Amino acid sequence: MNDEQSFYDVDRVIHEPARLLISTILYTADQADFLYLLNATGLTKGNLSAHLSKLESAQYITIEKVFRGKVPQTICQLTEQGREAFETYRKQMNRLLRSN
């Protein structure tokens, strides 16, 4: 497979910078809530919600609503499929960067 082809094969769901950032955080930590992701990514609430929905649609993350006392909390977690997709993306990008 040539480099150009390999670049086009990169997972576009993860390749987008905000989603790559979210995926990296969730890959390192097992779970993170909306508040942490908001602080860590610097995105707006709407933007973060949109990116989380995209990742959820691709079945890369699960989103669970729980209550901390009376305050609702949104917990995000990378699925096994998401973990594999992130690892594949990372390998592909490393290979591409090495070949350039």
Partner 1 sequence: MTEIQIDINEVMRNTRRYWYIDGIPEIAGGIIIIAIALSYMLIYQIENQMTKNLLLGFGQPALILLTSFFAGKLVTMCKQKITYPRTGLIKFRKGKTNKQIQRIFLVILIAAAVSAFVSFFASMISERFLPVLGSFFLGAYSWYLGYFNGVRRFYIVAGSIVIFGGIISWLNLGGGYPYIILLIGIGLIWIVAGGWTLASYLRQTQPISEEI
Residue ranges in contact with partner 1 by CB under 8 A: 15-17, 20-21, 24-25, 27-40, 45, 68, 71-73, 75, 90
Distances 76 to 10, 22, 43, 46, 98 between C-alpha atoms, Å: 23, 10, 16, 16, 32
CB of residue 68 to partner 1, shortest distance in Å: 7
CB of residue 20 to partner 1, shortest distance in Å: 5
Distance CA 81, CA 98 (A): 26
Nearer of residues 58 and 96 to partner 1, judged by Cβ: 96
The single-letter DSSP state of residue 17 is: H
CB of residue 33 to partner 1, shortest distance in Å: 4
Nearer of residues 31 and 59 to partner 1, judged by Cβ: 31
